[in-house]
């Protein structure tokens, strides 16, 4: 049976909830491996003066209901220091070969510790070591100093690695604990736009908005989505 979410245009009567559509598009792009890192999304944040900056991160969880998107990163990085001072962020997925774009605006909160622990534990030791070894966004004198810093921090944690960091010297199997400065960020959308490429640039677009009422420092009570078709 054809996937009902993969139509060339959005239905005439817009769906009630864009998150299931967005989730289906992401799953499709991932299943089809349309490119390397099909879960890559551009994340835009603003600093305390309102100056925007953007970078690519990987979407590691897409939770359609109640509706949030998770990526993992260093909590001392520029992006997290910006979203701590202003939680309003923007995400953009784009799959050129599928002619689809998803834009998300919303509010960022840090993930619960259990979510960060579970994901960190699932990572390869090399990525775990990298999370300990790099003070993301901070300056460093040289690449050599960086590699030495990663090796030294690994040794302090009981992981011996080869000089090129490619293999464990000893012990042969070792999982590291999650660094306190590393974990997930949940983006709760209050606006989602689905965009489908059309012929002669007559694309199909619709935007859905909802209210978010803060429950506590990690979650929101979300209102119902309202969808509007917009011109290309
Ligand atoms: C394909 C791709 C995927 C990336 N995924 C992540 C990610 O999931 N988390 C992350 O912290 N950085 C990721 N990065 C690196 C970021 O783009 C960025 O360089 C880094 O997070 C530092 O950003 P900041 O200094 O603005 O905080 C990725 C980069 C690329 C090109």
Task: Report the pLDDT averaged over residues 103-114.
Answer: 98
161-200 tens-digit pLDDT? 887 777 777 665 677 899 999 999 999 999 999 999 999 9
Q: Which atom of ligand 1 lies at the shortest distance from residue 74's CA?
A: 11
Task: Report the pLDDT averaged over residues 202-211.
Answer: 97
Cα 104 to middle of ligand 1, angstroms: 18
Alpha-carbon distance values, 174 to 55, 122, 169, 191, 219 (Å): 31, 12, 11, 42, 34
Q: Determine which residue's CA is closest to atom 7 belonging to ligand 1.
A: 57
Whether residue 111 contacts residue 165, with contact meaning beta carbons closer than 8 Å, is answered with no
Q: Determine which residue's CA is closest to atom 31 belonging to ligand 1.
A: 56
Q: pTM, whole model, 2 decimals?
A: 0.96
- Distance, in Å, from the CA atom of 120 to the CA atom of 128, rounded to the nearest integer, reads 7
13: tokens are: 């009567």
- In the predicted structure, residue 8 carries a pLDDT above the cut 60: yes
- In sign, the C-alpha dihedral spanning 147, 150, 155, 158 is negative
- Distance, in Å, from the CA atom of 37 to the CA atom of 178, rounded to the nearest integer, reads 23
**Longest Cα separation, the chain:** 61
Domains and CATH numbers, the chain: 18-112+181-230 (2.30.110.10), 119-170 (no CATH)
Alpha-carbon distance values, 214 to 60, 107, 221 (Å): 23, 10, 6
- Distance, in Å, from the CA atom of 173 to the CA atom of 50, rounded to the nearest integer, reads 45
Whether residue 174 contacts residue 180, with contact meaning beta carbons closer than 8 Å, is answered with no
Alpha-carbon distance values, 169 to 60, 125, 156, 157, 159 (Å): 30, 12, 14, 13, 8
């Amino acid at each position: 049976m054809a996937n009902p979410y993969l139509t060339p245009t959005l239905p005439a009567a817009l769906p009630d909830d864009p998150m299931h559509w967005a989730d289906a598009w992401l799953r499709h792009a991932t299943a089809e491996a349309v490119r390397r890192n099909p879960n890559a999304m551009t994340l835009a944040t603003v600093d305390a003066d309102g100056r925007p900056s953007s970078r690519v991160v990987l979407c590691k969880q897409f939770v359609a209901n109640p509706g949030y998107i998770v990526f993992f990163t260093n909590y001392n990085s520029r992006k997290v220091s910006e979203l701590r001072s202003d939680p309003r962020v923007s995400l953009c997925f784009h799959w050129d070969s599928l002619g689809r774009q998803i834009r998300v605006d919303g509010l960022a909160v840090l993930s619960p510790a259990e979510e960060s622990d579970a994901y960190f534990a699932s990572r390869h030791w090399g990525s775990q070591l990298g999370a300990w070894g790099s003070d993301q966004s901070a300056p460093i004198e040289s690449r050599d100093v960086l590699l030495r810093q990663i090796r030294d921090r690994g040794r302090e944690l009981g992981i011996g690695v080869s000089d090129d960091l490619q293999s464990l010297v000893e012990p042969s199997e070792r999982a590291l604990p999650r660094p306190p400065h590393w974990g997930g960020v949940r983006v709760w959308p209050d606006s989602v736009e689905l965009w489908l490429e059309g012929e002669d640039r007559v694309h199909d677009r619709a935007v859905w908005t909802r209210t978010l009422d803060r429950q506590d420092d990690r979650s929101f009570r979300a209102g119902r989505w309202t969808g509007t078709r917009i011109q290309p």
